[in-house]
Amino acid sequence: MALLTGCDRRGAGEFPTRSAHADDDRRAAGIAVDLTSPPPTPRDRAETKEAIVALRTPLGLEAAHETVDRFFDAVFSEDIAALAELVQDETQVQDTRANASAKAHPAASLWRQRFQKREYQALAGALVYRATDVATYRGDQTDELPLDVRYLSSGDDVLPNDVVLHVPIITHSLRSERLFGDDIFFWLRRRGSRYVIYRMAEEVPF
């Protein structure tokens, strides 16, 4: 009984608890934590000699193909607002016809004119292109583009994560009316978590 009584008299307060060490410095020696400096701006690439960087998660080619799919969906519905979400204010369509009176057109205004002159909604159920036919060029492969569209970019203007998709068009006419060129080239540039259309090239059917 004396042993049991002695054990009962040892309360929990006699054992050290976590709160007893609340003031202990538990960080490893030599590590300084700076909580005041903002994190670096995320980017796509960095040099190994740089001390602290923040890299963005790369976008897969699925994101590039999704932008092109959304482009054709907007065209087939003749939805200029949906199309405007996929381009930038400075996005140009390069007309690759040899006899074109103007070589570059603002993308939004050009497609507004095309919707007024042609019935693109009639192509909604047609096979316009196959995803398996689409050729991909990375930002460092623009010199491999066909000569008539290579001028889409100048060397200093190409970003490492830019993508160019070459889309061969299968159904380009309807009732003998030309709606697309034989090929469309989409130069895509990252904006946030998606790609937008930076430049296009096509034999514009005017």
Place of tokens 């007309």: 95
> For the chain, what are the domain ranges?
61-202
Burial class (CB in 10 A: 0-12, 13-18, 19+), 49: exposed
The maximal CA–CA distance of the chain, rounded, in angstroms, is: 111
Q: What is the mean pLDDT of residues 76-85?
A: 96
Q: What percent of the chain has pLDDT over 70?
A: 69
- Considering the four listed CATH numbers 3.30.565.10, 3.30.1360.120, 3.10.450.50, 3.40.1190.20, the one that applies to the domain covering 61-202 is 3.10.450.50
Which one is predicted more confidently, 145 or 74? 74
Q: Per-residue pLDDT tens for 8-65? A: 555 555 555 555 555 555 555 565 655 566 666 555 555 555 556 555 577 889 999 9
pLDDT given at position 52: 60
DSSP line for 49-86: T-SS--BPPPPPHHHHHHHHHHHHHHHHTT-HHHHHTT
Assigned token pair, 161: 């994560």
CA quadruple 128, 119, 180, 92: dihedral positive or negative?
negative
pTM comes to: 0.72
pLDDT given at position 85: 95
